[in-house]
Amino acid sequence: MRETIAQALKDALKAQDKLRISTLRLVNAAIQDRDISNRGVGKDPVSDEDILQILAKMVKQREESAKAFEDGKRPELAEKERAEIEVIRGFLPKQMDEAAVKQAVADAIAETGAEGLRDMGRVMAVLKERFTGQMDFGKAGALVKASLQ
């Protein structure tokens, strides 16, 4: 993943694509920040799975910012956030549709033998292990909760 992002940054620099350059630099900074914090506590460098989590978090942050800008009557800033989302999503696996998420939740519940809300953590752990970057875990959590009640 690091090499892919670094190559995309080089390509953006050659093409002088200012939006991609700034977004990819933000991505690299977030990855380096996680590397530094991991080093401080003696953990390994950031893995590809960690990078997917970082990218998913960045997308979520930008979605929230875009909504806030729209609510604040700043559509030009909301549009910039959405453009950054598209750049970041280019590095994430394809997002699962709602039917696939529902099926994955049902499969995880069946596999873990979850029977009530106290088992929700186990189900979510299975989903996060298998589908990092492919689904919105906020929505998946709501589906798990509804299924276990």
Statement to judge: residues 22 and 62 lie in one domain: yes
Q: Looking at residue 101, what is its pLDDT?
A: 87
Same domain, 19 and 75: yes
Residues 14 and 76 in one domain: yes
CATH of the domain at 85: 1.10.1510.10
Higher pLDDT, 18 or 50: 18
The CATH number linked to 129 is 1.10.10.410
Domain that holds residue 122: 98-148
List, for residues 132-142, the tens digit of each pLDDT value: 778 878 888 88
Q: How far apart are CA 13 and CA 10, in angstroms?
A: 5
DSSP states along the chain: -HHHHHHHHHHHHHHT-HHHHHHHHHHHHHHHHHHHHHHHTTPPPPPHHHHHHHHHHHHHHHHHHHHHHHHTT-HHHHHHHHHHHHHHHTTSPPPPPHHHHHHHHHHHHHHHT--SGGGHHHHHHHHHHHHTTTS-HHHHHHHHHHHH-
Give the mean pLDDT of 120-132.
86
Q: Over the stretch 60-103, which tens digit does the pLDDT of each residue have? A: 899 999 999 999 999 999 999 999 999 998 998 888 888 888 88
- Same domain membership, residue 69 and residue 44: yes
Do residues 81 and 16 both lie within one domain?
yes
User: What digits encode the pLDDT tens for the residues 1-23?
Assistant: 889 999 999 999 999 999 999 99
How many domains in the chain? 2
Same domain, residue pair 63 and 104: no
pTM above 0.75, yes or no: no
> Looking at the structure, do residues 76 and 34 belong to the same domain, yes or no?
yes
pLDDT of residue 61: 93
pLDDT at site 15: 94
* Residue pair 20/88 in contact by the 8 Å Cβ criterion: no
Lowest mean pLDDT among 8-12, 128-132, 143-147: 128-132
Q: Tell me, yes or no, whether 49 and 27 share the same domain.
A: yes
For residues 60 and 38, membership in a common domain is answered with: yes
